[in-house]
A = this chain, B = another copy of it.
Amino acid sequence: MTDLKFATEKIENPRAHWVITLVCDDTPGIVHALTGAVVAAGGNIEELQQFSSTDTGRFFLRTEVSVADGADLQAEVLPVAKRLGAKITVDPAERKLRTLILGSKAAHAVNDLLFRQRSGYLPIEIPRVMANHAVLGDLARFYDVPFEHLPVTGPEEKAAFEQRVREVIAEEQIELVVLARYMQIVSPELCEELAGMAINIHHSFLPGFKGANPYRQAHARGVKLVGATAHFVTTDLDEGPIIEQNVRRVDHTNTVKQLQAMGQDEESRTLTQAVKWFAEHRILLDGHRTIVFR
């Protein structure tokens, strides 16, 4: 399998690009200062997006810079960031984000992530898929991704699963954890440890439905749209900052099971989109909101 080359046409490989993100309090002169450092490093700005949040008074910037020597770029921009009291990242655009997938039994979202990683659409590496059921093993192995199955039937096994997640994150230098229909409630402790680096997907409706079996409720109410929301994992269950949302039209002929199937489609594509943006450093946090520089 290692020599399988999918013929999906690849996304253009950028030249020697670096991605800088910068977050700090808004004050005049930030762009000028940062772009001065880029010029001093001999860099050229290929793309730049910024946003000033009137809600929080914070300033957000993402830029792609082409430069001969990335070390020069870092040497010039890091002092600027320090002076601004800014949080900064400087990363080669072509570097692939190390991503851990947590699944359960459902294959749709995991399949989409694995296929699109392989085809080159997602700029990530996937060193591990972990799940509380064995069923996704064949799929992971087809894509040459090590699969780890730890059954979870009680609180002790759940704690062990989460402990193993922590170990894999450390061992594999994981930068992003994707809950691809993981179906387990993450403990508050792990939620906090994963703050800003874990993405979850769940179904969404207009209006929202609380409680068990939302598809049944949506069917009973006769909703005309079903959808999905990708969001950061926080201790406030399913209430983290929203990254992306999509909907699909349904009608009265659709059964509860069909609503679920259509909802799953939206889950797959919404989660994959969120992972792509995260891996490209396009998502920044403004309090409880996301800034997404698409």
- Residues of A bordering B, CB below 8 Å: 1, 4-12, 26-32, 35-36, 38-39, 42-52, 54-55, 104-108, 111, 115, 119, 121, 133, 135-136, 138-139, 142, 204-208, 219-225, 227, 229, 238-239, 241-247, 251-253, 255-258, 260-261, 264-265, 269, 286-292, 294
Distance (whole angstroms) from the CB of A36 to the closest CB of chain B: 5
Copies of this chain, whole number: 4
Task: Assess whether A257 is in contact with B12, with CB atoms less than 8 Å apart.
Answer: yes
Question: Which of these, B45, B51, B105, contacts A50 with CB under 8 Å?
Answer: B45
Write out the residue numbers on chain B whose beta carbons fall within 8 Å of the beta carbon of A105.
7
Task: Assess whether B51 is in contact with A252, with CB atoms less than 8 Å apart.
Answer: yes
Task: Assess whether B119 is in contact with A258, with CB atoms less than 8 Å apart.
Answer: no
The complex places the Cα of A229 from the Cα of B26 at a distance, in Å, of 38
Question: Which of these, B11, B42, B108, B136, contacts A261 with CB under 8 Å?
Answer: B11
Task: Assess whether A241 is in contact with B224, with CB atoms less than 8 Å apart.
Answer: no
Write out the residue numbers on chain B whose beta carbons fall within 8 Å of the beta carbon of A255.
11-12, 54
Write out the residue numbers on chain B whose beta carbons fall within 8 Å of the beta carbon of A39.
28-29, 32
Write out the residue numbers on chain B whose beta carbons fall within 8 Å of the beta carbon of A42.
28
27 A-B pairs with C-beta separation under 8 A: A6-B107, A7-B135, A7-B136, A8-B106, A9-B257, A11-B255, A11-B257, A11-B261, A12-B255, A12-B257, A27-B44, A31-B45, A45-B52, A46-B52, A55-B220, A107-B119, A108-B119, A206-B247, A220-B287, A220-B289, A222-B286, A222-B290, A224-B242, A225-B227, A225-B246, A252-B291, A265-B269
